[in-house]
A and B are shown apart, each in its own frame.
Chain A
Amino acid sequence: MSLDTAPSRTVTAVRRRERRQRSWRRLFVGTAALAAALAVWEVAAYAVHDAVTLPTVQETVRQLVHYLAAPYPQVQGKTLVTDALISTGRILAGFALGTVTGLVLGAAMAGVRVIRELADPIVGVMRPLPPIAFIPLLVVWFGIGEASKIALIFFGVLPVVTIATLGALDAVPDEFTHASRSLGASSFHTMLHVRLRAAVPGVVTGMRIAMGGAWTSIVAAEMIAATGGVGFLILQAGNYLQTPLIFSGIAVIAVLGFTFDGLLRLLLRAVDPTARR
């Protein structure tokens, strides 16, 4: 029996090379776009000629490097690195708690009718609410310490991951479970290795969305009620018209946000072969 079989090894090799070329190209174009944006900034800075309104790129970089290790404000201040670690710690703690709870809640809603009917309206009401609306309330409840920040992230991440999990589980086609059962798998094995497994890419996509929202919330919270974190630093810098430092803080958030999204994208590629291109 020989149906059409292309010499796949060469096909795969060619495809792999093409993919590598494409990713190099993308990297190159992306770097060029960033460089162009910096060039526009630099030209604009010379045109404005006012370091408070718009500092030059080199001045911003100089201050960024300086405050990486030097505290700001000088009295009782923290370094950029410390502030970044504080914000990251809050994000990770709230995100981990929110994701785990969302996974469990979403799976329970998908599996148990009563839980779905009970939780559906609550999640539905919570989701469109901007988490930052809860900041004053959380401060009243938990003070301005870590607990209120982690709770804020948690309540932002929870509905997003819950809905993503529920949606992904609902979207698993019956054909998958049918195929699994008729191949001899038990219903437990099917639940674990087919239904839950098929939902993983959708859940990770939900986690990516939740991570984006988490950065918005944490920066807002640190600006309203905190004594540390990148948001707090940016606010302080703004109060003293330290524009280069504001830009530095924003740059740090950009790098961290990009890094975490990149990690989640790697996770998505690991769990979803169709995402590898």
Chain B
Amino acid sequence: MTERSAQVVEEPVADKPAAVRLRDVGKTFRKRRRETTALEGVSLDIAAGEFLCLVGPSGCGKSTLLSILAGFTEADTGEVLVDGRPVTGPGPDRGVLFQTPTLFPWLTTRQNVLYGPRARRALTPDVREEAAELLETVGLAEFADAYPHELSGGMRHRAAFARVLINHPRVLLMDEPFGALDAITRAGMQRFLLELWQRRRTTIVFVTHDVEEATLLGDRVSVLSGRPGRTKAVVDIDLPRPRTYDDTETLAFVTAKRRIREVLER
């Protein structure tokens, strides 16, 4: 695909971003004699530390692809490698953010954030301190002891974010995470995500419907075809970093956006 794909398998080091490699991934759902081929021969290389956006028409298998990467669903064919190792199941090295934040309603914000470390028996005073810092970072310090139903939609997203970040995932898998948010909250979340990525350089696979969002966030945008999903094209976004929301008005941005839209509609 491109030269930027990381072919070298490095020794995994905790906290370092991981490269992702998909080869001929296919997935067919069988239900009551009806077969739905969601994905067919999808190949994609994502470099360590890259921000890759995934766009495509509804039902083309974006969520399925992410779920395969997360280890919730098994691919029928092909290879799925994270840092050279095949994905066999879910794990904290791949942080997942869903379209709706799935905070546990019986836990407070802080307890939600500490869920991962606690479940892995890695809850140390240092981790608690880090949780407090993370809550501060996502602007929820004062809501640490509130329950999810007491938070606004955007706040829940940020809490879910903190819950994933405390695990120091090497890849972030995000499935239309800001799709349900209003324009202003959404812009705030995009800014937050950009700042975070600028600092941590985690590998990110970001699914979205929104071409503008993909252009603003991604290093590259992978466009999938309609069902069954195949990689139609991968568009490089050569806009300078760090990017802000103001960049959406520049000519370069609009041009990049149009290029993606053309591929989508082709």
Q: Which residues of A are at the interface with B, using a C-beta cutoff of 8 A?
A: 1-9, 12, 173-176, 178-186, 189-190, 193-194, 197-198, 200, 271-274
Contact = CB atoms under 8 A, between A and B. Distances in A.
Contacts of A8: 142-143, 146
A178 B139 CA distance: 26
Q: Which of A2, A7, A181, A271 has the most CB of B within 10 A?
A: A181
B70 A178 contact: yes
Interface of B: 70-72, 89-92, 94-96, 98, 100, 102, 104-106, 115-116, 119-120, 137-143, 146-147, 149, 154, 158, 163-164, 167, 188, 192, 195
B119 A183 contact: yes
B119 A179 contact: no
B139 A198 contact: no
Given A3-B192, A175-B102, A176-B104, A181 B142 contact: no
A175 B100 CA distance: 9
Contact of A182 (B92, B143, B149): B92
A1 B195 contact: yes
A197 B104 CA distance: 10
Contact of B90 (A176, A182, A189, A197): A182
A200 B106 CA distance: 10
Given A3-B154, A185-B119, A178 B104 contact: no
A183 B121 CA distance: 12
Given A3-B139, A5-B139, A176-B104, A182 B188 contact: no
Contact of B139 (A4, A7, A193): A4
Nearest to B189: A3
Contacts of A3: 138-139, 154, 158, 188, 192
A160 B235 CA distance: 57
Given A1-B138, A3-B138, A175-B102, A273 B149 contact: yes
Nearest to B73: A178
Nearest to B122: A184
Contacts of A271: 106
19 contacts: A5-B139, A5-B140, A8-B142, A174-B72, A175-B98, A175-B100, A179-B98, A180-B115, A181-B71, A181-B72, A183-B115, A183-B119, A183-B164, A184-B91, A184-B116, A184-B119, A184-B120, A185-B116, A273-B147
